[in-house]
Copies of this chain bind each other. A is one copy, B any other.
């Protein structure tokens, strides 16, 4: 009697165990290298049961991705007050993002890396999640730009659409990178708050300057001169 597996659990519980196990294994190995045997063993269930409940490896992977994506998005959304000022919302969102990814490193690994390795329709789910976040950031930036333009001398239209989207992608990428760094193997990992502060400092301050028209100009690169519109 090597393993007195707990038997006869209600379906919901078993299913959760299976998905938990799957997220772990997918995070560790990626989609193709993950084996259903390993997932089954980690879940404490037999393979046929997994297939009965989750139907196939692809379905299981999709379920994992959707669950983790929803959890992450939910964590960020519920941390943001819709009527707070833009910077506050960014700040709260970033903190929630870093806190959640730090608390669920496996889920984050699946979303940030594993899901993109396996084409359609998984990369699309992740791409949609990312796009959704980018949209939010785009609105944040636009709002910040309006504030700046409204509050200060509004002489020029400082940001076109593509530039804003680019900025949003940069910000999201920076956040992803920092999340990966914070989850890294290094002993001295920063807290979610510290991470969020670092990013907030460089991004928000840079953003304010940007929307107020200050640019870096390649031509004037003798000593890092900044042109002020």
Contact = CB atoms under 8 A, between A and B. Distances in A.
Sorting the interface of chain A by its residue count into under 10, 10 to 19, 20 to 34 or 35 or more gives 35 or more
Q: Number of copies of this chain in the oligomer? A: 4
Contacts of A162: 188, 190, 194
A102 B144 CA distance: 31
Per DSSP, are chain A's interface residues mostly helix, strand or loop, or mixed? helix
Nearest to A209: B205
Given A30-B32, A162-B190, A205 B200 contact: no
Given A91-B218, A178-B166, A224 B85 contact: yes
Interface in A132-181: 144, 147, 151, 162-163, 165-167, 169-178, 180-181
B144 A224 contact: yes
B30 A118 contact: yes
Contacts of A214: 205
Given A177-B172, A188-B162, A221 B88 contact: yes
Nearest to A158: B201
Contact of A202 (B87, B206, B223): B206
Contacts of A31: 30, 32-33
B177 A170 contact: yes
Q: Which 7 A-B pairs have the closest CB atoms?
A: A173-B177, A206-B206, A32-B32, A87-B224, A170-B174, A30-B117, A32-B33
10 contacts: A91-B216, A113-B116, A166-B181, A167-B198, A170-B175, A170-B177, A170-B203, A197-B218, A200-B218, A205-B210
Given A114-B117, A169-B177, 6 more contacts: A33-B118, A163-B198, A169-B174, A170-B178, A200-B216, A204-B224
Interface of A: 28-33, 84-88, 91, 113-114, 116-119, 144, 147, 151, 162-163, 165-167, 169-178, 180-181, 188, 190, 194-195, 197-210, 214-216, 218, 221-224, 226
